[in-house]
Structure 1
C-alpha cells in the first residue's frame, strides 16, 4: 500500500473514525508516547537538521529548547489521541517554542521554525507508519487509520505553526518598532541641533554620521498602509541610490525617515518605476549633505519637499528638493505667490495647460525651440504656434521678464501635475 503523506490531508473534511480505528489510534498513540529512545532521537535530530540551521547550531541553549519543544509536541499529540482518539488535537505552543521563536525573530531567521516543523513532520510520519503497520494487517482498517492519522498530525502541526507565525509577526513588529523608537530619540536630538558625540551616536545608530548623505522621507497618506510596504520602498531607494549604507527610522505609522550613504542622488526615474507596485507610497529626497550638519540639512530639505507636495495638487510620487527648491522659497507666502503668478502670467494663468507647458519647457531649454520640441515630443511648427499664443496672453513682452515668467510657470506646473 502506498504511503499517505500528512500534508495531503489538511484540507479534508474531518470525520469521526470508526470505533475500531479509534481503538487502533489510541493504542498507537500509547506506543508513540513510550517510543524507544532512538525514535525520539531521530525526531529531535530532524528538528535540528532543517535547512539553514547552521548559523545557530552552536547555541546549546537554543538547541536544548528545540529538543524539549519537539518532545513536548509529540507527547501532547500522543496523550490527546490516547484520551480522545480521532478527535482534532488542539495546537500546543510551549514556552520553549515561544522562546525559540522570539530568538529566531531577533536573528532574522524565522524561516528556520517552519523548516524544522516540516522536517519533524516528515520524520514523525515515517515512524508513525511503522507503528500503524504493526497494529493491523486488514487493508481497510489500515487505510482508514493512515488517513485519520495524517489528518490528525497535519491539523495539529498546522494549527500550532499558525499560532507560532502570529507570535513571530507580533514579535517582529514589536522589535522593529522598539528599534525605531530608540533610533528616533537619538536622531531627533541630532536634528534639533543638540550636542551629541558623533562617534558614539554613529555606533548606536549603526550608521556613520561623518559620511556623505542623501536624506529621504517615505510616506503614504492612505489608511492602513503596512510598515512592510514602506520598508519595501526603502529597499528600492537603496537600490536606486548606489548606497553604501542606510539608516531607517519609523517617524510615525505612515512615514519612514531614511538616510543613504551615497555620493550621488538616487536615480529618480528608476525609483519611480520601482515603487509603482507599492500603492500610495511617495518619496521626497533632500540634497547631498556632509557630516552631521549635512545629515540634518538634507533631512530638513526632504521634509520641506514633503510638506510642499502636501500643499500642492501634484501626482508626482518621487520628488527631490532640487526639483522644488525655487517653488519652496516662493511658497513661504502663499498669498503673495498667487498674486505674483497672476500679475506675471495674466491671461496665460487660466489658458489651456499645454500653452504654459510649452512656454516653460522652452524657457528650461534655454529658449531653444528645437530642443524644447524634442522634449515635448511635438513638431517644431506646432511648438512655435503655441509659444506665439502664450506670448500674446502675457501682460508684458516675454523678453522683458523671462526669469519672472519662468518662476511663475514653475509654481503653476507643480499645481497642475495632478490635473
Structure 2
C-alpha cells in the first residue's frame, strides 16, 4: 500500500488510544499523567505499525523509547504485566480493523486490489507487535524489580491501605515499614516532577521546617504525595515558618493539614488532593496553595456553574471585569473580612477616605445587600476573587 497520511495515522492512534483506555485501563486513564504517557506510547506504536504495514520499515530494531517508558509507568503503578500485554493486542485489533478499512477505500479508488495493497506484510505487522512485547516485558520486569528492591512498592501499598476506605489500625509495624511516625502531626504535600526532584524538594522542606520525619510515595506519573511529620500540634509560629519555606521555592505545590495522628495523616492528604483539584478552577492559584486558605472556596466550588450564578446574582454590576469594579470589590472584601474600614485602608495601602468613598459607591450599586446580606456578600466576593473574570458578565458604567 502507498503512503498513509499523517491525518490517517493520527485518527487510527486516537481510536486505538480510546479502546485501550476504556477496555484495559478505565480507572488509570482518568489520571492525566498516566493518560499522556499512554497517548505517547500509542502514537509511537501506531506510527511504526503504519510504516511496517506500508512496507516502509525493514530494520529489525525500531526506536521504542515510547513503549519502554509506558512499561515503566505500568510497573510503577503496580499493574500486572497481563494488562500491558492485553493493551497491545487490543491496540493491534483496532489498528488492523481501521487499516483494512483504509485498504478497502484505496481499492475502491482503483489504487489496486485489496490483496495487492496488503501484500505480504501481515506477518511483519504481527512480528512487530511480538517483538515489542518481548522488549517491554523485559523493561517491565526490570522496573518492577527496582521497585521491589528499594521498598517503594511496599511503602506505596501501605500508604494506599492507610488512605483507603478501611485503613488498618496503627501499629509500630506500620511506622517501621514506612520509616515514618504516624502519630505525628502531619502536613501533606503534592509535588510534581520526577523522583529525584520530588525527593530533593521534600528533603529541603523537612530541613527548613524542622520536621521530625518525611515520607514520599508516588501517586501517579509525575505526581508525588509527601508528608512532613512534627512531634506535636503545630503552633502559629511554626505554621508561618512552613508557609514561608514552601512559598519561597517558586514551584507549584499544594498542601493540606496540619492534622494529628493516623486520622490526620488521611485528612491532610485529602485536603491536599482537594486543593490540587482547585488549581484547575481558581483564576490565580499561585505556586503555593494551602487548603486551609481556600477551604470555603473548595466547599462552594463543588458546582462551579452554580457558584458563578451566585456571584452574578449577589454582586450584579460589581461582578464585572474592569479596573474600577476590581478596586471596589477588593476594598469591600477587605472591609467585610476585617470588620473595620481603618484596617481595610491599612491593608490596601490607601487613605481611609478612599475606602469610605468606594464603600459608598458599592452601597449605591448593591442597595440593601450591604446591610442585610453581609454573609452572602462576603462569600460572593471571595468566590469572585477565586473564579476571576469568568465569574462576571455585562458591563459597569458608574463605579467610583
Relative to 1, partners in 2 of residues 1:321 and 1:273: Cα closer, same or farther, differing over 3 Å? closer
CA distance in 2, matches of 1:258, 1:417: 33
Q: Residue 383 of structure 1: CA displacement?
A: 2.1
Normalising by structure 1, what TM-score? 0.52
Match of 2:357 among 385, 389, 393: 385
Relative to 1, partners in 2 of residues 1:269 and 1:287: Cα closer, same or farther, differing over 3 Å? closer
Matched, 1:184 2:160: no
Match of 2:271 among 277, 281, 301: 301
Q: Residue 175 of structure 1: CA displacement?
A: 6.3
Match of 1:229 among 197, 201, 212: 197
Q: Is the 8 A contact 2:205 2:246 kept in 1?
A: no
Matched, 1:312 2:282: yes
Matched, 1:209 2:182: yes
Relative to 1, partners in 2 of residues 1:305 and 1:341: Cα closer, same or farther, differing over 3 Å? same
Q: Is the 8 A contact 1:213 1:261 kept in 2?
A: yes
Partner SS for 1:403: helix
Matched, 1:356 2:329: yes
1:143-292 to 2 correspondences below 5 Å: 178-199=150-171, 200-219=173-192, 225-262=193-230, 263-264=233-234, 265=239, 267=241, 269-276=243-250, 281-292=251-262
Partner SS for 1:287: strand
Q: Residue 178 of structure 1: CA displacement?
A: 4.8
* 322-331 vs 231-240, greater mean Cα deviation: 231-240
Deviations 1:111-140 (A, max 9, x none): xxxxxxxxxxxxxxxxxxxxxxxxxxxxxx
Q: Once superposed, what is the RMSD of the aligned Cα atoms?
A: 2.9
Q: Is the 8 A contact 2:203 2:214 kept in 1?
A: no
Bigger Rg, structure 1 or 2: 1
Q: For residue 312 of structure 2, what is the aligned residue in structure 1?
A: 342
Partner SS for 1:251: strand
Deviations 1:217-275 (A, max 9, x none): 223xxxxx443333333234324533111111122232221111123236355135531
Q: Is the 8 A contact 1:213 1:288 kept in 2?
A: yes
Which segments of structure 1 move beyond 6 Å, counting only runs of 4 or more?
Answer: none
Q: Residue 197 of structure 1: CA displacement?
A: 4.6
Match of 2:296 among 323, 326, 330: 326
CA distance in 2, matches of 1:414, 1:177: 45
Give the number of equivalent residue pairs: 239
CA distance in 2, matches of 1:177, 1:316: 38
Q: Is the 8 A contact 1:315 1:418 kept in 2?
A: no
Q: Which runs of 5+ in 1 are unaligned?
A: 1-169, 220-224
Relative to 1, partners in 2 of residues 1:235 and 1:393: Cα closer, same or farther, differing over 3 Å? farther
